[in-house]
Structure 1
Amino acid sequence: MPESKGPFILITVNTSPTRAKQLISRMTEELKDRYEIRHVTNCETIEEVSPAVKEYQPDVLFSASMWSSEEAEQIRKVAEKERPGIKTHAIPQGLRVERGPDAIVEYLLENVPALLDSMDV
């Protein structure tokens, strides 16, 4: 069995930290044989992103589906200003509301491996 890649340090931006933790835990559990992902914190507001990125220097940042595309872009810019080269991913707006939390986990499982495979850690 090939070694897992990582560790990848992950920050989420989600107004519901409990939900973020649950969904990311499900994702990391599913991917644990291939990737070591450490979810270090969640930012509940866009204003929390800059200090969190400064403190944790994450490899990856996910913005949740409650953010508009404009807000997700703002989050991306703030993260990149604090840590050039950070990989960011915006979960499509409305996905959880339209299709539920399982759809978020499925979406992450489909998209996160390619994102992580594109990185050198």
Structure 2
Amino acid sequence: MAQSRPSGPYRLVTVNTAPDRAKRLIGRVVEDLKDKYTIIHAANVTAIEEVQKAVEDNKPDLLFTASMWTPVESQRAIAIAKGVNPDIKTFSLPQGLQVERGPDAVVEYIKENLPALLG
């Protein structure tokens, strides 16, 4: 059976107050899914107020909000991103996932949910 090419590339901006952790966890997801998707981690912002500029500057296809944000904060970040690009695909990790279940759970959660997001 012929190997199909990965879909993408998808440009990703993350909203995470721990940029090194965001880069490390997204790096694991990118590596684990490289046969299916080409994902470029274009930027991380550490504050919701930085989302608009990051989306304008990086023109991402995807925006992920990390598990330190409340649902209200995540929705605010998503609303800002969609205000710049109505077609951006967004994904919010459940609040507390990293703290309660650790980085492996975060990576698994993203990998489980990404196919539905990217369709």
RMSD: 0.5
Unaligned ranges ≥5, structure 1: none
Structure 2 equivalent of residue 87 of structure 1? 89
Point out 4+ residue stretches in structure 1 off by more than 3 angstroms. Answer: none
Correspondent of 2:53 among 51, 54, 78: 51
Q: Quote the offset at 1:81 in angstroms.
A: 0.2
Matches within 5 A, 1:1-16: 1-16=3-18
TM-score by length of 2: 0.97
Q: 1:83, 1:90 → 2: CA distance?
A: 17
Matches within 5 A, 1:18-37: 18-37=20-39
How many residues matched?
A: 117
Unaligned ranges ≥5, structure 2: none
Q: Quote the offset at 1:116 in angstroms.
A: 1.3
Q: 1:98, 1:79 → 2: CA distance?
A: 27
TM-score by length of 1: 0.95
Matches within 5 A, 1:62-81: 62-81=64-83
SS of residue matched to 2:67: coil
